[in-house]
Structure 1
Amino acid sequence: MNRPTPAADRPTISVVIPVKNDARLLARCLAALAAQTVTADEIIVVDNGSTDASATVALEAGAVVVPCAHLGIPAAAATGYDAASGDLILRLDADCIPEATWIAEMRAAFAARADVSVFTGGARFIDGPSALRTLLAAVYLATYTAFGAPALGHLPVFGSNLGFRRSAWRSIRTTAHRSDAELHDDLDLSYHFGEHHRIRALPAARMGISMRPFASGRGFARRMWRGVRTVVVHWPADLPPVRWQRLLRRRLRHHGAALPATPSGRVRR
């Protein structure tokens, strides 16, 4: 007689997509989500003040549309996370195209690593000069990691390809900066998730992303300024030496608590 699979092995999945005036690319993204080998239990499109057909496109695709009047990606994304009912919350952007196994890879990773609360995936460019797409995507992510990791003391998350447990979001939802449109929301999430949760890379969960944000020097400079500003906003409590020492002490305490004791009472290492 077959035993039913425990509910913990079948986590429900919510996908969150913030959008503002991106109806055409949103339709493409939603079509890619409909073609997943494992489909989401719900797709939440956060309408951040769109004046085009973004909300209509989302509704016609079967998504839940949640309005967010406070402009900016941090507010829109947080509104979507709050509305999500799934055990796992996956995040991408309206101009992204997830590979067909994206949700399946995320779900499998969480099932295999109960100790990990956040997985962040990789990316490839789907537009721009075709000969440079792979190289430029690798340089972009490497630059982001090289900037973020020393400030954080751990891997930063990439919001265009991100998955986390809803319980992890609920633990940081009141401390994350969600109302400042000029913060880099990926870095801000990294600060708050990394304080108490384990973040790991998931290269197998691949995502096609647009090169649009880097189409102009001004746009690129603004993203860089937001990144620097986000780091500074977390000071002095998260000055790198202060944060590194705090996280190290916490990890050592956790490691010591997890080590089994020998019959003599000593901790086995």
Structure 2
Amino acid sequence: MTAAETGTRTTVSVVIPVKDDDTELRRCLRALALQTRLPDEIVVVDNGSTDSSAEVARAAGARVVRCDERGIPAASSCGYDAARGDIILRLDADSLPSHTWVQTMSEALERQADVSAFTGGARFIDGPRRLRRPLAALYLGAYAAVTFSALGHLPLFGSNLAFRASAWRDVRHEVHRHDPEVHDDLDLAFHLGLRHRIRYLPHAAMGISMRPFGDRVGFRRRVWRGHHTVVIHWPEDFPPVRWQKLALQRALHRRGPSPTRSRSGR
């Protein structure tokens, strides 16, 4: 039964991992303060910043959680663990959500009880103006096309992401949170996607920065991390094996809930 049917209101946490991005974080928090539906809390995970990111977050009313373990996977997981809401929304410090982003994401999960995670698209907010939309479409389209064959379903995009806290608790001990070279949202998709339904939400508008793509070394590292994230799930999730698992899960879902549920224990 959905929240709308029961008359209850779900609570929403926004999680933002940050490391030395105080200027962009200030802009992101300002956008979150202007939402048509304000989140119940904002959790900023300070991953060892040496600038004023933590002070900026506190000044905006966010709850700051410190994560001394290096890497986005550790910082993101720390934020998800700390979140108190029924729904967890994730974006990056240099992201710029539209004023309806929190409402759009949270209402989608409230309406569709059979979906555990929604992922949205993005547009670039800097760089050459003419190239912003086509490059964003190319980037996200390529990411989805490449990862779909490995996952057998939609990937998750960490700059524009919403999922149920209950789904996170189901997989929190399986994700590779201690590997700083893991592509954290792709890793989360591997684990959520086996037992939970992921869907794309087209109207969840998000602006992202083109900064990472101006650095060739950084871009190559992103590509390598994606490859690394895929292969560390092998042989258990080698594509033909994973596809069979997904087919079995879907067949069981059509028949109704199973009294027992297997876990990978990773």
Report if TM-score (shorter chain) is over 0.5. yes
Query: In the alignment, residue 201 of structure 2 is paired with which amino acid?
Result: L
Identity of aligned residues (%): 61
Aligned to 1:242: 241
Greater Rg by CA: 1
For residues 184-234 of structure 1, give each alpha carbon's deviation from its aligned partner in whole angstroms, at most 9, with x where no partner exists.
111100100101000000011110000111112211111000000100000
Q: How does 1:120-269 map to 2 (within 5 A)?
A: 120-257=119-256
Mean alpha-carbon deviation: is it higher for 217-226 or for 76-85? 217-226
2:97 and 2:207 in contact (8 A); partners too? yes
Aligned to 2:68: 69
Structure 1 vs Structure 2 CA RMSD = 1.1
Q: How does 1:109-120 map to 2 (within 5 A)?
A: 109-120=108-119
- SS of the equivalent of 2:248 reads helix
TM value normalised by structure 2: 0.94
Q: How does 1:48-63 map to 2 (within 5 A)?
A: 48-63=47-62
- SS of the equivalent of 2:42 reads strand
In 2: Cα distance, 1:183 partner to 1:8 partner: 40
Query: In the alignment, residue 60 of structure 2 is paired with which amino acid?
Result: A
Query: In the alignment, residue 156 of structure 2 is paired with which amino acid?
Result: V
In 1: Cα distance, 2:209 partner to 2:189 partner: 22
Taking a change above 3 Å as real, the CA distance of residues 102 and 157 of structure 1, as seen in their structure-2 partners, is same
Aligned to 1:89: 88
Aligned residues: 254
TM value normalised by structure 1: 0.93
Aligned to 1:261: none
Aligned to 1:266: none
Aligned to 1:78: 77
Q: CA deviation at 1:7?
A: 6.6
Where do 5+ consecutive residues of structure 1 fail to align?
Answer: 259-269
Query: In the alignment, residue 215 of structure 2 is paired with which amino acid?
Result: S
For residues 124-173 of structure 1, give each alpha carbon's deviation from its aligned partner in whole angstroms, at most 9, with x where no partner exists.
00001100000000000000001110000000000000000000000000
1:9 and 1:111 in contact (8 A); partners too? no
- SS of the equivalent of 1:95 reads coil
Aligned to 1:265: none
2:194 and 2:249 in contact (8 A); partners too? no
Where do 5+ consecutive residues of structure 2 fail to align?
Answer: 258-266
Aligned to 1:267: none
Aligned to 2:41: 42
